[in-house]
Structure 1
Amino acid sequence: MFTGIVQGVATVEAVESRPGLSTFVIRFPEGSVSGVTIGASVAINGTCLTVTAQEGNRLWFDAMQETLRMTTLGRLAPGSRINFERAARIGDEIGGHLLSGHIHTTARVVSREQPENNCTLTFEMPDEWQKYLFPKGYIAVNGASLTIGDVEGNRFNVHLIPETLRATVFADIQEGDEVNIEVDSQTQTIVDTLARMGYERPRG
């Protein structure tokens, strides 16, 4: 499990692509992966991956075909910057909301507005996922727990403070980019349960 509090930004050093599998070599900031062992879970842009090898501050991860299909990881290349979060431990503070690291879909950035000391990103999701979007609800974008601002159909926005921009890859994101999305599990459960009872949420 993860908390959606991004612990930093790491850099992809190499990508080895084979049929149905990609191996990522990622360099992490000094000291950020101390104590990590083979088999540990780390969220890479919100996607839970398993450490397969380690050398100093560099970790290796394998992503299979289904993961590459469902996420933006297949677009990573040497030099790409990614959000990371190590798996939560019992007793850790939950500063965001609980995440599984299983990506539901991707979204496209349709606008970026950045007045002084503010940044608003607007995203467009596939239509089938709009039923889980609620103003002031939770959503995870590239592994970061964020509060939804406005919702209009299958579009929603988030408002980012300077610290979030400093500590994540959102400083780099531009219109047209794609991001990984994990919807809030409690919201999904409630919406799906009501739908099974015949209370379908109206679209729009």
Structure 2
Amino acid sequence: MFTGIVQGTAKIAKIADREGLRTFTLDFPPGFCVDLAIGASVSTDGVCLTVTEILSENQATFDVMLQSLAITTLGSYQEGDRANVERAAKDGAEIGGHPLSGHVDFTSEVVMVKSSDTNRLMRFSIPEAFRKYVFAKGYIAINGASLTVSEVNRAEGWFEVWLIPETRRMTVFEDKQVGDFVNIEIERSTQVVVDTVRETVQESLGKLQPLLEAILKEKGLTLEDFVSPQGKLK
């Protein structure tokens, strides 16, 4: 498990392809690899990777399966690129963000960026299948960083987040521009509640559910509007 609090960025020092695998060698910030062991988990831009070899006090390697390359942004990375990194949380560790599994749900395109001297507003696309799980003031993980959704538009398929100076300093988001892609992991407890609500409504209404959804749509609402950002029924 990860906390969503990014501990720094790592440079992709080397990429090597083998049959069915791609091996990444990462250069980590000083101190990141203290007590890091083979088999340990590291969130790399939100993807849970396993250490396969420790090369030095600041360098380790990771093997990535072809499927992970295909469904995440890792498949497009080149040597010299940087990624957000976080080591797996230890038992009893404070959860500063929200619990993350390191299993990416989808990749999202950056569709708008507005920056000031301090803050940075970023807008991301959402595939239709996942729009029901994203709520204003709710959590979402972007490249392994736990962030709060500031606004969401399900009809148009986007959500926005604000980045404070510390987040900009500690992550790769400062370099992301329109057209770039990021890894997204939705907040699991919200997903469970939304799915449970839908299943309950379906069991109760049966064939009437489409009619209810049509009525709500006319009023600009969906079933998900009756779930709070904290993943609870309103």
TM over 0.5: yes
- Residue from 187, 194, 197 that aligns with 1:194: 197
3-state SS of the aligned residue for 2:63?
Answer: strand
Give SS of 1:197's match. Answer: helix
Give 3-state SS (helix, strand or coil) of 1:198's partner: helix
Q: CA deviation at 1:125?
A: 1.6
The SS at the match of 1:55 is strand
**Cα distance in 2 between the residues matched to 1:97 and 1:52:** 27
* Equivalent position amino acid for 1:35 in 2: D
Question: Residue in 1 aligned with 2:51?
Answer: 51
Structure 1 distance, partners of 2:161, 2:35, is 34
* Displacement after TM superposition at 1:18 (Å): 2.9
Q: CA deviation at 1:202?
A: 4.7
Q: How many residues align?
A: 204
Q: TM-score, normalised by structure 2?
A: 0.84
User: 2:32: which partner in 1?
Assistant: 32
Distance between the aligned counterparts of 1:20 and 1:192, measured in 2? 35
Match of 2:164 among 147, 161, 166: 161
Residue ranges of structure 1 left out of the alignment (5+ in a row): none
Give 2:175's aligned residue: 172
SS in 2 for 1:165: helix
CA distance in 1, matches of 2:19, 2:182: 24
| Matching of residues 83-162 of structure 1 within 5 Å | 83-153=84-154, 154-162=157-165
What is the alpha-carbon distance in structure 1 between the residues aligned to residue 170 and residue 113 of structure 2? 18
The equivalent of 1:184 in structure 2 is 187
TM-score by length of 1: 0.96
Task: Output the amino acid matched with 2:178.
Answer: E
Q: Percent identity?
A: 49
- Kindly state the Cα deviation for residue 97 of structure 1 after the two structures are TM-superposed: 0.2
Q: Residue 107 of structure 2: SS of its match in structure 1?
A: strand
User: Whole-Å Cα distance in 1 between the matches of residues 42 and 121 of structure 2?
Assistant: 27
Shift of 1:70: 1.4
Letter in 2 for 1:84: V
> Within 2, Cα distance between the matches of 1:184 and 1:25?
29
